[in-house]
Amino acid sequence: MFVQLLRKSILRRKSRFAMGVASVLIGAAVVTALLTVSLGVGDQVGQEFTKYGANLILQPQSNTIEIGLPGINMGSVTEQKYINESDLWMIKTIQYRANVLGFAPFLYQMVTVGDGPSAQEAVMAGTYFNKTIQIIQPVSPQDPSEFTTGIADVSSWWKVTGNWITDQNDTTSAMVGSNVAQKLNLTVGDSFKVGYAGAQNNSASSNVKELKVAGIVESGGAEDNQIFANLPVAQDLSSRPGKVDTVQLSALCVRCPVEDIASEIQGKLPGVAGTTIKQLTNAEMGMLEKYQSMMAFVTAVALLASTMGIFTTMTASVAERRKEIGLMKSIGAENRSIASLFLAEATLIGLIGGITGYGVGIVLAQFIGLSVFSTTIPLKWEVLTVVIPIAIGVSLLASALPVRRATAVEPAIVLRGE
């Protein structure tokens, strides 16, 4: 009888029931879309942040020795130290390895560009452009055994005329900073000779290289005065095989500070010190927090709108059915019978609104994914298990006061003829 009563009372007020469902649908769709987006595009958000560049710099720990006599300080000497290129794979074995979005090692050296009187000095940096690193001992079997990264991950904002170097084995191409190119009158496709300044008296042929300009770099920073080539070119030129001066790293950590990543890497790579670029890290964290706050705010507004919608629908429904409620009470219905009828209706509104809202939310999530992150968002079934209870909860919560009013209807109204 209860099911019959519920079914027929809903069918009689189809439009009002539909309005209630629509109210829940809006809230459920927004919650679904934002949850799906935030779960599905975590990586994409991270990738977006790599555009802002590296936020962690790894350098070799240097031993500085104070020299002089007792009471007379004559300065200090620093022993030149390097990071071993062969250790870099270990960066991807830290606990927060998934948060390491990319890195690029750098080996710097002063080089002489050109011949004779027109020769100029410049800084040359060997680095990774698009290097696939073998992760020798992945932490878990699910981890990939390789990681492709390079300067494009940490310096993607560079304006490049010509092309990026894409072949990790290319030892004849270079990317030249715009100031260097201007001084040496180099354009894309030109060839030039570089010689390692520290090896002027060394006749080894490996200390002079002929390189071809693949692209001209404009960053507005120090890079404009540098020449970039694949790391082995620089290592060979200065006879420092397998050595790296610094590593620039782009890391993103939502639930942990980047300092934790730095200290973990220090633990894994002996003799390496990590320094965070606070300003950038804080800005990234701030943006993530704002992104999350905005999502929470939009969700709260959508759920509030749903609550108001259901409240209005249920209040109107109770007002319309006042006489019916009075009649039910007059023929023996207890308050809990009346309440259960309305609460069952609210539960159904929440359930149907939640399921349809989930469907609409998935479509909305794809729209957000494509328009904001230029990617589709994978379907997250676990969102359904969150959205349905929220939808039913909101519907029941919004119905609490109208149901209270329903139970307060006096049975005597059926005789008073109100």
Partner 1 sequence: MDDALISLENVTKVYSGGTRALNEVTLSFEKEEWVTIMGPSGSGKTTLLNIIGCLDLPTSGIVRIDGKEVTGVGQAALTRLRRENVGLIFQQYHLIPYLTALENVMLAQYYHGNPDETKAVDALKNVGLEHRLDHLPAHLSGGEQQRVCIARALINDPAILLADEPTGNLDQTNGNVVLDLIQRLHKEGRAIVLVTHNPDISGIGDRTIRIVDGNVEQDSKPGGDRNGK
Query: Where do contacts with partner 1 occur on this chain (CB under 8 A)?
Result: 1-2, 4-5, 8-9, 11-12, 323-324, 327-335, 337, 410-412, 414-417
Place of tokens 């030892």: 171
Q: Residues of 229-249 as b/e, b for ≥16 C-beta within 10 angstroms?
A: bbbbbbbbbbebeebbbbbbb
Identify the bridge partners of residue 228 per DSSP, sorted by sequence position. Answer: 125, 175
CB of residue 320 vs partner 1: minimum separation in angstroms? 11
DSSP 223-258: GGGEEEEEHHHHHHHTT-TTEESEEEEEE--SSS-H
Nearer to partner 1, 255 or 416 (CB): 416
CB of residue 326 vs partner 1: minimum separation in angstroms? 8
Distance, in Å, from the CA atom of 192 to the CA atom of 189, rounded to the nearest integer, reads: 10
Nearer to partner 1, 10 or 355 (CB): 10
DSSP 355-381: HHHHHHHHHHHHHHHHHHSSS-----H
Q: Which helix (H) or strand (E) holds 111?
A: strand 100-113
E strand segments, 120-166? 120-127, 131-134, 146-149, 159-162
Nearer to partner 1, 188 or 333 (CB): 333
Nearer to partner 1, 208 or 344 (CB): 344
CB of residue 329 vs partner 1: minimum separation in angstroms? 7
CB of residue 316 vs partner 1: minimum separation in angstroms? 17
Question: Which tokens is 207 given?
Answer: 């200390």
Nearer to partner 1, 143 or 324 (CB): 324
CB of residue 25 vs partner 1: minimum separation in angstroms? 25
CB of residue 411 vs partner 1: minimum separation in angstroms? 5
Nearer to partner 1, 335 or 375 (CB): 335
- Chain centroid to CA 129: 22
